[in-house]
Amino acid sequence: MTDEFHKPVRLPSETFDRLFAGDDPAEVSRVAHSTAQALLMRVRAEPDTDIVERLIDFTNHNGIDDIAELWSRSPAKTLPGSLWRLYLLQLSIHDDPDTSALLYERGCTELRSADAVIAGAPSPAAPDELVSVIDQIMRGVFIGDFAVALDRASAFCRVQASGAAHLADDYEQSEPGRSTAFTTRALRLSTYAEDLHQAARLWRRESLA
């Protein structure tokens, strides 16, 4: 596939300057939605193993800045907003798999729900196993059932949020700063869990745009 395919994801800075000239919210929204739709639909229509793997590994090699410039300001229950949250979740696990595994294992212990089964990670899960699971979820974004990928990511966030909340309680007296950090992370993960769950429902109704 030609280099032209990559333009929705990696655009030269001068192109960004032109696209976001004046920081017009309507223009920012238009570009965010059009690039997200073009990227997802193009790959899903003609799945290519090399392209899919490069997209899964995108943040490992390129960071999050380019994606942030495209999608970070999009509302949660939109296609670009959902892709942004999926990439952030993946990046957080790749960046610190040890803490992610700790949160996930504690969440599996404390959370009495089917979320751990839906997420699809083993319990206990080693750090490298969690990395593999989130990459598998991202692979499903491009070549599987997109709603299922969203639901798995939502469940994953919910399990980790439970783990973070319980660890926050553990450290409340002995290490209040660490407790606060875990509380903040739990709230963020809980919000992402609900956002991705709602996005999956919208996708199934063909209403996620």
pLDDT by position in tens, the chain (length 209) = 333 333 333 333 333 333 344 467 788 788 899 999 999 988 999 889 999 999 999 888 888 888 888 899 999 999 999 999 999 999 999 999 999 999 999 999 999 899 999 999 988 889 999 999 999 999 999 999 999 999 999 999 999 999 999 999 999 999 999 999 999 999 999 999 999 999 999 999 999 98
Cα 143 to chain centroid distance, Å, stands at: 16
Give the Cα separation of 41 and 60 in Å (integer). Answer: 23
The structure's pTM equals: 0.85
> How many CB atoms sit inside 10 A of residue 32's CB?
24
Question: At which residue do the structure tokens 């996930």 appear?
Answer: 104
